[in-house]
Amino acid sequence: MKSLALSERALIVLLASITVVGPVALNIYAPAVPLARAAFGVSVAAASTTVSAPLVAFAIGLFFYGPLSDHFGRRPVILTGLSIYVLGTVLAFFAPTLHLLILGRVITALGAGAGVTIARATLSDLYNSDRMTANLASLTMVMAIANATAPVTGGLLAEAFGWRSVFILLFLVGTAALLAAWRFLPETRALHPHRDFMPIARATWNLAKTPDFLNQAVQCAVVYSAFFVFVSLMPHVLTHLGHSTAEYGFWYLSISTGYFIGNWRITRRADRHNLNRLLAHGISIQAVGGLLGLVAAVLGWWHPFWIFAPWAIMAFGQGFILPTVTANAVSLAPAFAGVASGLLGFSQQMAGALAVQLMAPTPTTTPIPVTAFVASITTIGWIAFKLARPRDKDTALPAHPDHVINKQ
């Protein structure tokens, strides 16, 4: 570990604060989507664009922020990204049309991508794979708390003060994160003296065609596809079934609680001897939760409990999956952690955006279409893991020369 002015705990809190702005921006707005749809008088598919378009922008930001942070350093990139984020929230708040709202959301998401990428890359700069996994889980536990309160807060704000009020809170959160990063975030990246982009381009290409990296990216894509389809369409389903946006927010707490517990287990059990065993458990639990949700929907059990309880089980498994695959993927490119983090984030967010657009035209009068998609994609993820399981199921991915992108 490199010497650092901040304590490890303080660094994790700081990185969490700059990471949560993106996921919170997506989750706090989700309960307000039906209200925005009614305000502009548009279809569910059109309103869903305010979710899917930002996901694409978020993915693009993740893709570019990684290489840029490897080239220019972590601090200038995160400060730029958070500044863009703040400007986007202002535009979204004042947007008089759906198109300008989408633009504001896109700018917000584009800026927010810097937080996720820089946090992962910073941890990779400072810690080995085992310690990075534990710290990623600790960081995501902080994120889980924020994400758990975001839909509740968004639902209450939207009902009490209108759907635009969520953007006031996002502006305040983004500004606070920007000031905290400017004041306290250290520079952890050792820059190349010649600042040549070619090694970064080669690292990106080599990593993108590495089977081990692709296996991790597939599992991330499964998690994000299931999650974003659920959070973008289920509010419409619950509204049709007679439930309020605030109710959606409160039931969402069960998902965040499951994810939080999964992350907590990772912090206690993560080491190089059992990372992939934990990953296998998480993928299996996720698939079981997805299938249980579909069974409940087909049987006509449409009370929010039966919709969210299977998702809480899934989230518990995802708490195992995400920190593990992220650490595995980023450890494949120790000299270019920003590239690995950005490429992984790009793939997962693009998968989520495509899934939302694919499912947007489906009926939202019952939970069956959403739960059928979730059950299918999580089962596919389980099959993919079984077909491409690591050579040694009880150890972390090896740092073999064929699987590591060395510094050029």
Q: What is the pLDDT of residues 169-184, one digit of tens each?
A: 999 999 999 999 898 8
pLDDT of residue 117 exceeding 50, the answer is: yes
Out of 18-27, 172-181, 394-403, which region has the weakest mean confidence (pLDDT)? Answer: 394-403
399: Cβ–Cβ under 8 A, 6 or more apart, which residues?
A: 331, 334
pLDDT of residue 273 exceeding 70, the answer is: no
Please provide the DSSP assignment of 39-98 as one string: HHT--HHHHHHHHHHHHHHHHHHHHHHHHHHHHH-HHHHHHHHHHHHHHHHHHHHH--SH
Amino acid in position 223: V
* φ/ψ bin of 242: left (φ > 0), alpha (ψ from -120 to 50), beta (otherwise): left
Higher pLDDT, 59 or 46: 46
Res 389: pLDDT: 65
Is residue 374 very low, low, confident or very high in pLDDT (cuts 50, 70, 90)?
very high
Task: List, in sequence order, every beta strand (DSSP E) within 24-118.
Answer: none
Res 101: pLDDT: 95
Out of 89-98, 133-142, 236-245, 293-302, which region has the weakest mean confidence (pLDDT)? Answer: 133-142
Rounded-to-integer distance, Cα 11 and Cα 263, Å: 18
Res 82: pLDDT: 94
Res 345: pLDDT: 75
Rounded-to-integer distance, Cα 12 and Cα 16, Å: 6
Q: What is the pLDDT of residues 322-349, one digit of tens each?
A: 878 877 777 776 666 667 777 777 787 7
All structural domains of the chain: 8-403 (1.20.1250.20)
Rounded-to-integer distance, Cα 66 and Cα 70, Å: 6
Out of 200-214, 263-277, 289-303, which region has the weakest mean confidence (pLDDT)? Answer: 263-277
Question: Residue 231 carries which DSSP code?
Answer: H
First to last CA, the chain: 22
Out of 47-51, 179-183, 390-394, which region has the weakest mean confidence (pLDDT)? Answer: 390-394
